[in-house]
């Protein structure tokens, strides 16, 4: 997964083709939840080491450095579509990378961007050597996002975010439609799914529908025991 093939100038990152449930990427988005980012990051690093599953954490920008120091793969929740300069309040891609981020989410439904800004943020991430996942609501938007050449796209119907009802169960056609839409545009762009993901069964269902990874948030960030939640998530793999 994440071959980086969408943008011809982007560095290539190769992951072997996944068997069902194998080689899945798990990205835990901490959003702005009142959790302990170091506790979650440490749990994620331990689960990744013990299971061999690729697990990453996307904390608040101010916590990227501290989270990266735990050894877990660390992602930014967003980077801005600008270079260095007079851009007060922006999240500079190079600053995120310097702090330890290895990738970034873009266009999450809670932080929507204009199409031109998604493209600009992808350029910024490329300059900084960050992997990219562009989020979208439905298969039609997934096709448009894939055309911009990210490493991956993620389909997340906003109505299901935080509900505990995974899109793979609520409307599996959204996942298969997203996989097909991305493939029609660029077969090198991976497709993840999110919204309501919280259990190992959810992860396997996502894989069976053609997804190469999952985004989740409250199922881990709000868990009383993040390590136990992550162990349950990867147990079927």
Domains of the chain: 25-80+91-234 (3.20.20.70)
87 is catalytic: no
> Has residue 15 got a pLDDT over 70?
no
Categorize the per-residue pLDDT at 30 as very low, low, confident or very high, splitting at 50, 70 and 90. Answer: very high
> Has residue 212 got a pLDDT over 90?
yes
- pLDDT (average), residues 185-204: 91
> Mean pLDDT for the chain?
90
pTM: 0.90
Catalytic residue, from 63, 73, 108, 131: name it.
108
Rounded to whole angstroms, the Cα distance separating 181 from 146 reads 8
Categorize the per-residue pLDDT at 1 as very low, low, confident or very high, splitting at 50, 70 and 90. Answer: low
Categorize the per-residue pLDDT at 108 as very low, low, confident or very high, splitting at 50, 70 and 90. Answer: very high
What per-residue confidence (pLDDT) applies to 11? 36
83 is catalytic: no
What per-residue confidence (pLDDT) applies to 13? 37
Which residue blocks in the chain are alpha helix, DSSP H? 37-51, 64-68, 93-99, 115-128, 139-146, 167-170, 172-185, 200-208, 218-221, 226-234
> Has residue 100 got a pLDDT over 80?
yes
Give 76's strand partners.
Answer: 104
Give residue-wise pLDDT tens across range 123-173: 999 999 999 999 999 999 999 999 999 999 999 887 777 677 777 777 889
């Amino acid at each position: 997964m994440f071959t980086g093939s969408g943008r011809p100038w982007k560095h290539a990152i190769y992951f072997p083709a996944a068997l069902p449930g194998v080689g899945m990427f798990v990205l835990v988005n901490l959003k702005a939840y009142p959790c302990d980012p170091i506790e979650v990051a440490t749990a994620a690093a331990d689960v990744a080491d013990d299971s061999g599953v690729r697990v990453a954490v996307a904390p608040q920008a101010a916590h990227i450095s501290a989270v990266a120091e735990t050894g877990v793969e660390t992602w930014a929740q967003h980077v801005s579509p600008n270079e260095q300069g007079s851009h007060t309040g922006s999240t500079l891609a190079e600053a995120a990378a310097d702090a330890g981020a290895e990738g970034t989410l873009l266009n999450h439904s809670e932080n929507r961007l204009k199409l031109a800004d998604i493209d600009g943020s992808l350029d910024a991430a490329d300059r900084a050597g960050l992997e990219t996942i562009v989020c979208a609501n439905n298969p039609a938007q997934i096709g448009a996002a894939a055309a911009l050449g990210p490493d991956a796209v993620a389909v997340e119907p906003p109505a299901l975010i935080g509900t505990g009802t995974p899109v793979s169960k609520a409307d599996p056609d959204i996942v298969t439609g997203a996989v097909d839409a991305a493939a029609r545009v660029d077969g090198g762009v991976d497709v993840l799914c999110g919204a309501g993901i919280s259990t190992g069964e959810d992860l396997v269902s996502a894989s069976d529908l053609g997804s190469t990874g999952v985004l989740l948030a409250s199922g881990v960030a709000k868990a009383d025991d993040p390590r136990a939640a992550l162990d349950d998530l990867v147990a079927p793999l």
